[in-house]
């Protein structure tokens, strides 16, 4: 399918594809096996300007948008979701600054992010605040010209590796959701340490750990937006980033599909390649249909986001849900096509299937996404009456 | 500091086929690449630029389509690119090529000139050193490490059959480099975007005020009479056994044919 990408978009896709081919595929099994953060690959991504894709030119980026980011994320995901998660989580952590930062904050933080010199992480989830983000217990108490941060963030992607953290904490517990604020916290700030590194089922090249704040003093200038805007910052950030998770689903599905199709062409049973059997053909056809449908939705929503539309919540939730469900289904079917070989670690598909599962869970489970979509549908229908 | 890197566009030898009738390369439809050794020369220049700051110009002599090779190096980070293109240059051998490149480098000015150790199509390894001779500057070939660069001096390792030499030279200097020197970087997105737009400077023999008798086929003392694949010799013996047995057998064979 031709999605009428312009020359620069093709250049971005091809650059990401080349990095995936030359730098990621040769090491992905080892990164997974040893649970290693892909430091060398991050360096290559930085040198190739991939971290600056969606950052305005005035802050050292390339000034492109959601579609370009999706193209890059898709290509990286086709090779390894662990690496693409490290890359995409960087964008997730950057959006709060991009969307709500003052010019001064942007000047201070974005150039180093765009160049890949500094990595970013987003800190929202806590032990008692997952789908129900209103359960946040981390507090930021105002004291003179500072906020004093206390509490623990859990399962933070790029935790420990990142230099800049955008963290949601309660500045006024009595106001509930309206009492949350978003703060920029830099690595090395006294009182800011890292807890245990999680052992995960998949995306093991991506690092996940706790952020521990113990009387951590943050300058007041590091607040994003105003006091009490934390939830809006978080929700608008997730609206922006969700399409990228959809692109991860498309990428991992494409990668697994290609492995399965190539396997089916060469695996001989009953005297012919198994791709000659209709049972396999129909599975491959269904996989191809789902991937193309997911890609079409992800690109359309990304283009909608880039148009500057305000009501992107429902569309981005749809792209995320559909494409990540496709990611899970296609990786599962790809493994099935490959039978026992697919289950073995000699082939990359078992890893792709383990990796794909997270896409249905992080940045809002697909059940929460359906809630979001339904809430928007209810609003739209009541408005139309 | 000004650095000039000389590159050559060559056929991708992994795709090359030989015409069995004429024993020459079939160039039709064969993709062109930058000579792989030259990529290491470009990387060396960019590393010096990253570390000390320098203006990197990439230079090539070739037909107009060699522009693509130059743009690739701009995408990697070269500041400027110059194409020597002129019908008068056509058919140059290594002497005429080096003569022309040397004139262009003098015209442009450089503190360091970098070349790959040889091109994978011609494999002569002559052009780099010959440029230095025409320019009357020192050259160091087979450089495997650039230890230090200062304003008027350079220290490098020269790869030898066994080990390496440490060689120091005053600037300006010409180096030819081997692949052990570095790992060429990938082109960045900003670089690719710049490469798409940059205007490639073109020079002909007129700007360089060169005598046409020294250029191209006319100025080339070497004439290729014939290119052929060496005849395959079929008498081969494979000696089996333990290393000791093989050595003993080999000695008796060599004695039998009076080699030893």
Burial class (CB in 10 A: 0-12, 13-18, 19+), B167: middle
Query: Which DSSP helix (H) or strand (E) runs through A206?
Result: none
Nearest partner of B215 among B70, B117, B124, B104, judged by Cα: B104
Do A53 and B189 make contact, defined as CB atoms within 8 angstroms? Answer: yes
Residue A19 with chain B: CB contacts under 8 Å: 186
Tens of pLDDT, residue by residue over A263-274, are 999 999 999 999
pLDDT score, position B26: 73
**C-alpha–C-alpha distance, residues B116 and B131, integer Å:** 13
pLDDT score, position B232: 78
A372 within domain boundaries: yes
**C-alpha–C-alpha distance, residues A87 and A105, integer Å:** 22
Do B189 and A19 make contact, defined as CB atoms within 8 angstroms? Answer: no
- CA of A125 to nearest chain B CA: how many angstroms apart? 34
- CA of A190 to nearest chain B CA: how many angstroms apart? 33
Alpha carbon separation from A200 to A155, A206, A324, A351, A358 (Å, rounded):
10, 9, 18, 12, 10
Based on the fold, state whether residues A205 and A130 are members of the same structural domain: yes
Based on the fold, state whether residues A63 and A176 are members of the same structural domain: no
**C-alpha–C-alpha distance, residues A67 and A86, integer Å:** 18
Confirm if A291 and A330 have CB atoms less than 8 A apart: yes
- Tell me the CATH number at A186: 2.40.110.10
Find the helix packing angle between A313-343 and A278-306, rounded to 10°: 150
pLDDT score, position A48: 96
The residues of A that are catalytic are: 363
Confirm if A333 and A352 have CB atoms less than 8 A apart: no
In terms of CA atoms, which chain A residue is nearest residue B76? A48
Low-confidence spans in chain A with pLDDT less than 50: none
End position of a domain, from candidates A228, A250, A276: A228
Q: Does the CB of B190 have a partner CB in chain A at under 8 Å?
A: yes
pLDDT score, position A29: 97
In terms of CA atoms, which chain A residue is nearest residue B191? A48
- Tell me the CATH number at A30: 1.10.540.10
Strand B2-6 to strand B112-116: parallel, antiparallel, or no bridges (unpaired)?
A: parallel
Based on the fold, state whether residues A62 and A142 are members of the same structural domain: no
Based on the fold, state whether residues A321 and A185 are members of the same structural domain: no
pLDDT score, position B179: 96
Based on the fold, state whether residues A125 and A94 are members of the same structural domain: no
A57 within domain boundaries: yes
**C-alpha–C-alpha distance, residues B94 and B130, integer Å:** 8
Find the helix packing angle between A366-384 and A313-343, rounded to 10°: 150
pLDDT score, position B122: 81
- Tell me the CATH number at A241: 1.20.140.10
A20 within domain boundaries: yes
pLDDT score, position B229: 73
A211 within domain boundaries: yes
Residue A44 with chain B: CB contacts under 8 Å: 186
Low-confidence spans in chain B with pLDDT less than 70: 15, 22-25
Query: Which DSSP helix (H) or strand (E) runs through A246?
Result: helix A230-266
Residue B189 with chain A: CB contacts under 8 Å: 11-12, 15, 48-50, 52-53, 62
Based on the fold, state whether residues A324 and A253 are members of the same structural domain: yes
**C-alpha–C-alpha distance, residues A314 and A368, integer Å:** 12
Based on the fold, state whether residues A331 and A212 are members of the same structural domain: no
**C-alpha–C-alpha distance, residues A120 and B241, integer Å:** 62
pLDDT score, position B22: 64
pLDDT score, position A385: 67
Residue A49 with chain B: CB contacts under 8 Å: 188-191
Q: Which domain holds residue A214?
A: 121-228
pLDDT score, position B25: 66
End position of a domain, from candidates A228, A260, A283: A228
A1 within domain boundaries: no
**C-alpha–C-alpha distance, residues A325 and A228, integer Å:** 34
Q: How many interface pairs between A and B have CB atoms less than 8 angstroms apart?
A: 31
Residues 6+ apart with CB under 8 A from B137: B113, B172, B173, B174
End position of a domain, from candidates A205, A228, A251: A228
CATH of the domain spanning B2-214? 3.40.50.620
Residue B187 with chain A: CB contacts under 8 Å: 15, 48
pLDDT score, position B113: 97
Residue to substitute from B72, B182, B189, interface A, most A β-carbons within 10 A: B189
pLDDT score, position A100: 97
Based on the fold, state whether residues A377 and A235 are members of the same structural domain: yes
Based on the fold, state whether residues A163 and A219 are members of the same structural domain: yes
Tens of pLDDT, residue by residue over A52-78, are 999 999 999 999 999 999 999 999 999
- CA of A18 to nearest chain B CA: how many angstroms apart? 9
Based on the fold, state whether residues A27 and A150 are members of the same structural domain: no
Residue A22 with chain B: CB contacts under 8 Å: 186
- CA of A306 to nearest chain B CA: how many angstroms apart? 20
| Share of chain A residues as helix, strand and coil, in percent rounded to the nearest 5 | 60, 15, 25
Per the structure, the count of domains in chain A is 3
For chain B, strand residue ranges (E) read 2-6, 9-11, 17-19, 24-26, 32-34, 55-61, 80-84, 112-116, 139-149, 153-159, 164-170, 173-177, 201-203
Do B189 and A11 make contact, defined as CB atoms within 8 angstroms? Answer: yes
pLDDT score, position B24: 63
Percent of chain A scored above 90 by pLDDT? 95
Based on the fold, state whether residues A70 and A173 are members of the same structural domain: no
Residue to substitute from A47, A50, A51, A52, interface B, most B β-carbons within 10 A: A47
Residue to substitute from B43, B71, B186, interface A, most A β-carbons within 10 A: B186
A224 within domain boundaries: yes
Q: Which residue of A47, A53, A62 is in closest CB contact with B185? A: A47
Based on the fold, state whether residues A165 and A300 are members of the same structural domain: no
């Amino acid at each position: 399918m031709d999605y009428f990408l312009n020359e620069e978009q093709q250049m971005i896709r091809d650059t990401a594809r080349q990095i995936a081919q030359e730098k990621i595929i040769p090491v992905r099994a080892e990164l997974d096996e040893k649970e290693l953060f892909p430091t060398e690959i991050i360096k290559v991504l930085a040198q190739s300007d991939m971290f600056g894709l969606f950052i305005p030119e005035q802050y050292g980026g390339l000034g492109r948008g959601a579609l370009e980011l999706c193209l890059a994320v898709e290509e990286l995901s086709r090779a390894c979701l662990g690496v693409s998660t490290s890359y995409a989580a960087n964008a997730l952590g950057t959006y709060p600054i991009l969307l709500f930062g003052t010019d001064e904050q942007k000047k201070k933080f974005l150039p180093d992010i765009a160049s890949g010199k500094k990595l970013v992480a987003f800190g929202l989830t806590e032990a008692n605040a997952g789908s129900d983000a209103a359960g946040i217990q981390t507090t930021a108490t105002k004291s003179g010209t500072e906020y004093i941060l206390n509490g623990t963030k859990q399962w933070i992607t790029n935790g420990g590796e990142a230099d800049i953290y955008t963290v949601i904490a309660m500045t006024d517990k009595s106001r509930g959701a309206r009492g949350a604020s978003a703060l920029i916290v830099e690595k090395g700030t006294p009182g800011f340490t890292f807890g245990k590194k999680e052992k995960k089922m998949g995306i093991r090249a991506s690092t996940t750990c706790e952020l521990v704040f113990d009387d951590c003093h943050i300058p007041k200038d590091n607040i994003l937006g105003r006091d009490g805007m934390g939830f809006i910052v978080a929700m608008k950030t997730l609206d922006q980033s969700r399409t990228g998770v959809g692109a991860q689903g498309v990428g991992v599905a494409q990668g697994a599909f290609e492995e399965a199709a190539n396997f089916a062409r060469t695996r001989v049973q009953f005297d012919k390649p198994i791709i000659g059997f209709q049972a396999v053909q129909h599975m491959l056809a269904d996989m191809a249909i789902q991937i193309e449908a997911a890609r079409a939705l992800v690109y359309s929503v990304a283009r909608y986001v880039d148009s500057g539309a305000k009501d992107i919540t429902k569309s981005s939730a749809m792209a995320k849900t559909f494409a990540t469900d496709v990611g899970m289904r296609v990786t599962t079917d790809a493994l099935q096509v490959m039978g026992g070989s697919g289950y073995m670690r000699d082939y990359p598909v078992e890893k792709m299937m383990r990796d794909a599962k997270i896409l249905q869970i992080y940045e809002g489970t697909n059940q929460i996404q359906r809630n979001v979509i339904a809430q928007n549908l209810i609003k739209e229908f009541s408005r139309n009456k | 500091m000004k650095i000039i890197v000389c590159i050559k566009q060559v056929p991708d030898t992994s795709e090359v086929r030989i015409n069995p009738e004429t024993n020459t390369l079939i160039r039709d439809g064969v993709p062109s690449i930058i000579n792989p050794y030259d990529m290491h020369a470009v990387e060396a220049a960019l590393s010096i630029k990253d570390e000390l700051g320098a203006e990197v110009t990439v230079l090539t002599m070739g037909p107009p389509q060699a522009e693509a090779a130059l743009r690739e190096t701009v995408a990697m980070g070269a500041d400027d690119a110059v194409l020597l293109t002129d019908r008068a240059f056509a058919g140059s051998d290594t002497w005429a090529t080096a003569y022309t490149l040397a004139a262009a480098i003098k015209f442009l000015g450089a503190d360091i000139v970098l070349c790959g150790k040889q091109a994978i199509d011609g494999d002569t390894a002559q052009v780099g050193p010959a440029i230095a001779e025409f320019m009357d500057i020192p050259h160091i070939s087979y450089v495997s490490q650039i230890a230090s660069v200062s304003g008027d001096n350079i220290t490098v390792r020269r790869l030898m059959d066994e080990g390496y030499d440490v060689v120091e030279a005053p600037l300006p200097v010409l180096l030819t480099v081997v692949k052990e020197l570095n790992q060429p970087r990938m082109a960045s997105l900003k670089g690719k975007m710049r490469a798409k737009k940059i205007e490639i400077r073109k020079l002909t023999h007129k700007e360089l005020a060169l005598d046409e008798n020294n250029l191209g086929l006319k100025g080339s003392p070497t004439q290729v009479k014939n290119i052929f694949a060496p005849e395959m010799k079929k008498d081969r013996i494979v000696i089996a056994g333990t290393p000791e047995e093989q050595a003993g057998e080999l000695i008796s064979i060599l004695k039998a044919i009076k080699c030893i």
